[in-house]
Amino acid sequence: MINKKSDREIELMREAGRITALAHRKVAEAIAPGVSTFELDRIAEQAIRENGATPSFKGYGGFPGSICASINDVVIHGIPKKNIILKHGDIISIDIGACYKGYHGDSARTHAVGKISKEKEDLIRCTRESFYEGLKFAKPNNHLSDISHAIESYVVMHGYGVVRDFTGHGVGQKLHEDPAIPNYGDPGMGPLLKEGMTLAIEPMVTSGNYRVKVLSDGWTTVTVDGSDSAHYENTILITKDGYEILTTEEGGKTNVKE
């Protein structure tokens, strides 16, 4: 069942989203060669807690970190560690969730560490742009898979792979709610979008084949072919005539391209 949120719930999700975005900014400011992913985790957790929220991921399904920190061929769910140190030329995907008064915000960004290759820059840009391509279809009475199809079409057109084993999702009182939101598929399928739905849309894109595998720690998800991967995610609200991005520091952006 897809939960539609009340005005009060949406207010709480705006604040959760704002805190999530703020934590992203703090982490982004700290990203540099020589920094460990454990340090980034501590910075995010502090920012979240200082703002009266809790890290959504910490303890979720047993996940040990407050953030996911996924470098190069790690697609998602990288566990922050003291001995994982950023190097010049890496790309790092940071996924952050913050829970404020029982409601979650969830968003992800991929960053450059120092100077990166043109190929990596292009991958990061295409991943971000694919989110906005999907967003064009985020309005009432469109089908959910209209978003999925737009993301896939854009990514494939640029010669990249769309990860299939993991999806976006509804979000609210639970970090993961119905519906699952694949980043691929035919248009015109799945539930109709309705005002008050809150969705985490999150393309995960690879520079090679889309196949991924989970390492023996049960979390770290890497590309099978060792290609690089990028991730971009926001929590959005379906409004009367479009959408609002909830995971921004300004407290919600309506129908604008960031």
3-state secondary structure of 251: coil
Q: How far is the CB of 175 from Mg ion (least distance, A)?
A: 7
Residues in contact with Mg ion, shown as a per-residue x/- string from 89 to 128 under the rule CB under 5 A: ------x----------x-x--------------------
Q: How far is the CB of 202 from Mg ion (least distance, A)?
A: 5
Q: How far is the CB of 176 from Mg ion (least distance, A)?
A: 7
**Residue 57 and residue 97 in contact, taking contact as beta carbons nearer than 8 Å:** yes
**Residue 56 and residue 104 in contact, taking contact as beta carbons nearer than 8 Å:** yes
Q: How far is the CB of 56 from Mg ion (least distance, A)?
A: 8
Cβ proximity to Mg ion, 109 vs 139, nearer residue: 109
**Residue 198 and residue 170 in contact, taking contact as beta carbons nearer than 8 Å:** yes
Cβ proximity to Mg ion, 56 vs 223, nearer residue: 56
Q: How far is the CB of 170 from Mg ion (least distance, A)?
A: 10
Residues in contact with Mg ion, shown as a per-residue x/- string from 124 to 153 under the rule CB under 5 A: ------------------------------
**Residue 112 and residue 121 in contact, taking contact as beta carbons nearer than 8 Å:** yes
Among 12, 98, 197, 200, binds Mg ion (CB under 5 A): 200
CA distance 147 to 145: 5
Cβ proximity to Mg ion, 15 vs 95, nearer residue: 95
Cβ proximity to Mg ion, 148 vs 157, nearer residue: 148
Neighbouring residues of 171: CB distance < 8 A, sequence distance ≥ 6: 13, 104, 105, 106, 177, 198, 199, 200, 235
Which residues inside 211-250 make contact with Mg ion, applying CB under 5 A?
Answer: 233
Q: How far is the CB of 106 from Mg ion (least distance, A)?
A: 4
Cβ proximity to Mg ion, 117 vs 144, nearer residue: 144
Q: How far is the CB of 72 from Mg ion (least distance, A)?
A: 18
DSSP assignment letter at 199: E
Q: What are phi and psi of 22, to 5 degrees?
A: -60, -45
**Residue 41 and residue 123 in contact, taking contact as beta carbons nearer than 8 Å:** no
Cβ proximity to Mg ion, 105 vs 161, nearer residue: 105
Of 83-91, 142-150, 153-161, 193-201: span binding Mg ion (CB under 5 A)? 193-201
Cβ proximity to Mg ion, 86 vs 108, nearer residue: 108
Q: Which candidate, 187, 196, 208, 175, places its Cα nearest to that of 243?
A: 196
Bridging pattern class, strands 91-100 and 54-55: antiparallel
Bridging pattern class, strands 221-223 and 229-231: unpaired
**Residue 63 and residue 81 in contact, taking contact as beta carbons nearer than 8 Å:** no
Contacts with Mg ion, residue ranges (CB under 5 A): 95, 106, 108, 200, 233
